[in-house]
């Protein structure tokens, strides 16, 4: 029996299946694209957050010394630094020019606070970590020279 013209046309059922199949593929591709973008944004946020966290911390023996830690806490986490230094940092003070003694000389005494600088050697090929302490608390962590 030879095929007829009507038998060669797609039936309504196969046409519907084709539409559902096309819609399913479009949905899946859209979902993959959106899901991929969400994953990329999440990975970027994690990368940015972890870098900012690491910038303000120092990893020592499985612990993190972080901005705000007291000196004793850093000593417990990281041990003795390879070098310690301290200097006097001038405290901002305003003076209005009044208050000198009659006929006397005005003497301005600039108070200061002690800043301690601790240096840690993390090992060959890494940067020396410089920790600054003000009023007994860690206020800054920066990189020094690369250890050879």
User: Do 73 and 139 share a domain, yes or no?
Assistant: yes
Position 50 scores a pLDDT of 44
| E strand or H helix that includes residue 26 | helix 12-55
Position 52 scores a pLDDT of 44
What average pLDDT is seen over the chain?
79
Residue 135: exposed, middle, or buried by beta-carbon count in 10 A (0-12, 13-18, 19+)?
Answer: exposed
Q: What is the pLDDT of residues 52-72, one digit of tens each?
A: 445 589 999 899 999 999 999
Domain that holds residue 69: 60-95+106-146
Q: What is the CATH number of the domain that holds 64?
A: 3.30.1450
Residue 139 lies in a domain: yes
User: Do 90 and 142 share a domain, yes or no?
Assistant: yes
Q: What is the pLDDT of residues 93-145, one digit of tens each?
A: 665 555 555 556 666 677 899 999 999 999 999 999 999 999 999 999 999 99
Position 141 scores a pLDDT of 97
CA–chain centroid gap for 25, Å, is 40
pLDDT at 51 over 50: no
């Amino acid at each position: 029996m030879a095929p007829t013209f009507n038998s060669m046309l797609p039936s309504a059922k196969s046409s519907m299946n084709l539409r559902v199949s096309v819609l399913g593929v479009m949905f899946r591709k859209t979902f993959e694209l959106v899901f991929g973008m969400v994953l990329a944004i999440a990975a970027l946020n994690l990368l940015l957050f972890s870098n900012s966290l690491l910038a303000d911390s120092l990893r020592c023996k499985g612990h993190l010394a972080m901005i705000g830690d007291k000196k004793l806490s850093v000593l417990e986490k990281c041990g003795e630094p390879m070098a310690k230094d301290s200097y006097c940092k001038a405290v901002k003070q305003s003076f209005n020019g009044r208050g000198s003694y009659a006929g006397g000389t005005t003497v301005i005494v600039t108070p200061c606070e002690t800043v301690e600088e601790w240096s840690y050697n993390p090992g060959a090929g890494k940067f020396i970590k410089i920790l600054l302490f003000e009023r007994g608390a860690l206020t800054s962590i920066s990189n020094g020279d690369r250890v050879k």
